[in-house]
Chains A and B, each alone.
Chain A
Amino acid sequence: MSTTTEPPVVAEAAAAGPAKAAGRGPWRLVLDQLWARGSARFGLITVGVLLLAAALAGPLSALGGWTPEEFDKRAVDAYLGGMPRGDFGGISTRHWLGVEPITGRDLFARVLHGGQVSLLIAFTATAVVVVTGTLAGVAAGYFGGRTDAVLSRLMDLTMSFPSLIFMIAMMSVAKDVNRILLITLVIGLFTWPGIARVVRGQTLSLKHREYVEAARVGGARSWRILTREILPNVSGPVIAYTTLLIPGMIATEAALSYLGVGVRPPTPSWGQMIAESIVHYETDPTYFLIPTAFLFLAVLAFTLLGDALRDILDPRGARS
């Protein structure tokens, strides 16, 4: 977990044995290092399983025999206020993770489809942020002068926005639009300056290195220098920072949906499922705990993975 005492990737791999490390690409080396850390391995596996489950939400819930919006009145007891029949929220062979009170909708199907929505939003929002942030950061750092001044002011301005309050407000006033698209853009709009600052700082320190000067002397144009010399060298911190952005995105989406301004029913998302289940937390704790557990695991796994990636790819720390 330390950031200063560990030697960089290549040195460590070389120490482990040049013969073994030879012929391996840099990404393979990163993967090896990740695997060597217990917490990162846990993160990697959990992320893999969650992504797979979300991607295969349709087929997997078909395996359980239910679709996320299918009512099952037989699984709930109308005389008990619609509480699920059986212990632990009605977990049984028919409903693997139990059912929702009152409607009897299958929680296994809903939590998988909810994960699909939550992770889709988190990933697309991250993609928007990374692309915008990197472009703005590279442009500000490389071109300097007026471009830098304008972009930096814009970053300051965006960072002074009360982002959660503003996101909630924007989400609530926009009525008839694609919620998933809107939530992605709104999150993206307020999150890009973080990565832009990191990239700007890196670019500033890279642009006067000898190899960049050499490329310039060799007659390379700005575009070529940016894409061939600068971008590949900021990719390490960017990847680490990106992984650490994802848990924040998942949590933000969940918070917005929890407050009722995110994804609208009947489309499930983790935050929205938690919001619906929170009134039942005492009578049907399983219903409350299942989406919470998925949300928790996803955030935890991406954080652990991001931490490890940052230690490996960005040991001196481009952050701050």
Chain B
Amino acid sequence: MILYLGRRLLGVAGILLAICAITFTIFYLLPNDPAAAACGKTCSPERLADVKAAMGLDKPVWDQFAAYLTGIFAGRDYGTGPSAVHCGFPCLGYSYEYGLPVWDLLTDRLPVSISLALGAAVLWLLLGLGAGVTSALRKGGFTDRTLMVLSVGAASLPVYFTSIMLIWGVVRTAGLLPYPSYHAFTDGPLDWASNLLLPWTALALLYAAMYARQSRTSMIETMAEPYIRTARAKGLPARTVTVKHGLRSAATPILTIFGMDLGGLLAGAVITESIFGLPGVGRLFYDGLARSDQPVILGVTLLAAFFIVAANLLVDLLYAAVDPRVRY
């Protein structure tokens, strides 16, 4: 187990390093000049050179990359002498747009994205697994067909359409909920939940549909296994057979997708956040794009990669808990 974990952590570090290198190369080799953008329109060549030096852009790409990596683990200084700016661990650079450390921007926005992702995940797991298991138990029946038609339909709807329809129906027409704006969980859980309910629903509908289809297939396959028949034959109640014997083993493939989906969402749902005007990481990223704010783009990409890799690792470790056949 320890050995496995060590090997996996090494792999994770390698993948993150590779992603960092690739992202860095792509964004820093492209014909954008952030120094010129930061310096403004009336910029003398001397001033431009100063700005470049302060941002560390006058050095070769390789040195810039090394400086970036050192910054992440040990912090770094921009410029020299009295005008130097220190950027402490973990330094992801300074945003060109906001003039703030990228790390601070990210940690500022992260609670919004995490609230959105986790809430939506709970909702879609409940909806998706519920529909999938119900369908599987009533295979071929009316309930099954209705649920599957609904889920294929819901999966085909673009998230911006469901979001707009939810805003239109629930907020504009019925006036049941306020137009979503973010309230911190610590300020009042009720405000937090009622404001996030619509974005949660919009995201959850999309994912729940996929989970319903996946869990139905998985559940049907599992319920046809001989050990399910054994469990029934020895007189276990139907609920125990379904949940403890069926669902537990059927959940393994679902866990894999769940890790990827949740990992991908934690660092921001770009479309959902922009439609509902939530100030999350996805929104930060989207705004950063419009202004070629490369440190922000790079920072968000790295954070997103980190979440995906971490979620995958976590899922692999969870396998052992869900499925007793899995041993490391």
Contacts of A300 in B (CB 8 A): 152-153, 156
For residues 277 through 318 of chain A, which have their beta carbon under 8 Å from a beta carbon of chain B?
278, 281-282, 288, 292, 295-296, 299-300, 303-304, 307, 317
Contact of B221 (CB < 8 Å), options: A4, A166, A169, A296: A4
In angstroms, how far is the closest chain B Cβ from the Cβ of A210? 28
- Alpha-carbon distance between A164 and B148 when the two chains are bound, in angstroms: 27
- Alpha-carbon distance between A219 and B9 when the two chains are bound, in angstroms: 45
A255 CB–B CB distance under 8 Å: yes
For residues 137 through 158 of chain B, which have their beta carbon under 8 Å from a beta carbon of chain A?
139-140, 148, 152-153, 155-158
The answer to whether B156 and A162 have CB atoms under 8 Å apart is: no
B184 CB–A CB distance under 8 Å: no
The answer to whether B301 and A173 have CB atoms under 8 Å apart is: no
Q: Mark A221-263, 1 if CB is under 8 A from B, else 0.
A: 0000000000000000000000000010001001100110100
- Alpha-carbon distance between A39 and B168 when the two chains are bound, in angstroms: 31
A19 CB–B CB distance under 8 Å: no
Q: Among B26-34, B65-73, B80-88, B196-204, which stretch is in contact with chain A?
A: B26-34
B185 CB–A CB distance under 8 Å: no
A93 CB–B CB distance under 8 Å: no
The answer to whether A303 and B155 have CB atoms under 8 Å apart is: yes
The answer to whether A170 and B161 have CB atoms under 8 Å apart is: no
In angstroms, how far is the closest chain B Cβ from the Cβ of A308? 11
- Alpha-carbon distance between A200 and B304 when the two chains are bound, in angstroms: 28
Contacts of B155 in A (CB 8 A): 299, 303
In angstroms, how far is the closest chain B Cβ from the Cβ of A166? 6
- Residue count of chain B within 8 Å CB distance of chain A: 49
Q: Among A47-55, A71-79, A133-141, A153-161, which stretch is in contact with chain B?
A: A153-161
Contacts of B193 in A (CB 8 A): none
Interface centre among B18, B161, B274 (most CB of A within 10 A): B161
B309 CB–A CB distance under 8 Å: yes
A174 CB–B CB distance under 8 Å: yes
Contacts of A3 in B (CB 8 A): 217, 220-221
The answer to whether A303 and B152 have CB atoms under 8 Å apart is: yes
A274 CB–B CB distance under 8 Å: yes
The answer to whether A281 and B164 have CB atoms under 8 Å apart is: yes
Q: Interface residues of A: mostly helix, strand, loop or mixed?
A: helix
In angstroms, how far is the closest chain A Cβ from the Cβ of B84? 29
- Alpha-carbon distance between A161 and B217 when the two chains are bound, in angstroms: 28
Please give me the residue from chain B that is nearest to A254 by CB atom.
B158
Please give me the residue from chain A that is nearest to B275 by CB atom.
A278
The answer to whether B158 and A160 have CB atoms under 8 Å apart is: no
A178 CB–B CB distance under 8 Å: no
B270 CB–A CB distance under 8 Å: yes
- Residue count of chain A within 8 Å CB distance of chain B: 46
A209 CB–B CB distance under 8 Å: no
B308 CB–A CB distance under 8 Å: yes
- Alpha-carbon distance between A157 and B264 when the two chains are bound, in angstroms: 14
- Alpha-carbon distance between A139 and B228 when the two chains are bound, in angstroms: 39
B271 CB–A CB distance under 8 Å: yes
The answer to whether B271 and A259 have CB atoms under 8 Å apart is: yes
- Alpha-carbon distance between A166 and B27 when the two chains are bound, in angstroms: 11
- Alpha-carbon distance between A162 and B160 when the two chains are bound, in angstroms: 20
In angstroms, how far is the closest chain A Cβ from the Cβ of B200? 19
The answer to whether B19 and A161 have CB atoms under 8 Å apart is: yes
A165 CB–B CB distance under 8 Å: yes
B305 CB–A CB distance under 8 Å: yes
Contacts of B100 in A (CB 8 A): none
Interface centre among B156, B220, B268, B292 (most CB of A within 10 A): B156
For residues 148 through 187 of chain A, which have their beta carbon under 8 Å from a beta carbon of chain B?
156-157, 159-166, 168-170, 172-175
Contacts of A156 in B (CB 8 A): 11, 15
The answer to whether B139 and A165 have CB atoms under 8 Å apart is: no
Please give me the residue from chain B that is nearest to A173 by CB atom.
B30
The answer to whether A278 and B270 have CB atoms under 8 Å apart is: no
Contacts of B307 in A (CB 8 A): 162
A156-B15, A303-B155, A303-B156 given as contacts; is B264 within 8 A of A164 (CB)?
yes
Contacts of A320 in B (CB 8 A): 253
- Alpha-carbon distance between A251 and B155 when the two chains are bound, in angstroms: 10
A31 CB–B CB distance under 8 Å: no
Known: A165-B268, A173-B26, A259-B270; 16 extra A-B contacts, CB below 8 A, are A157-B15, A157-B18, A162-B264, A162-B267, A162-B308, A168-B270, A169-B27, A170-B26, A175-B31, A259-B271, A278-B164, A282-B168, A292-B161, A296-B156, A300-B156, A317-B217
Q: What would be 24 A-B contacts, judged by CB atoms less than 8 Å apart?
A: A1-B148, A157-B15, A160-B19, A162-B301, A162-B305, A162-B307, A164-B264, A165-B270, A165-B285, A166-B301, A168-B270, A168-B285, A170-B26, A173-B292, A258-B158, A274-B158, A278-B164, A282-B168, A292-B158, A295-B158, A296-B161, A303-B156, A317-B217, A320-B253
Footprint of B on A, CB under 8 Å?
A: 1-5, 39, 156-157, 159-166, 168-170, 172-175, 247, 251, 254-255, 258-259, 261, 271, 274, 278, 281-282, 288, 292, 295-296, 299-300, 303-304, 307, 317, 320
Footprint of A on B, CB under 8 Å?
A: 11, 15, 18-19, 23, 26-27, 30-32, 139-140, 148, 152-153, 155-158, 160-161, 164, 168, 172, 217, 220-221, 224, 253, 260, 264, 267-268, 270-271, 274, 285-286, 289, 292, 297, 300-301, 304-305, 307-309, 312
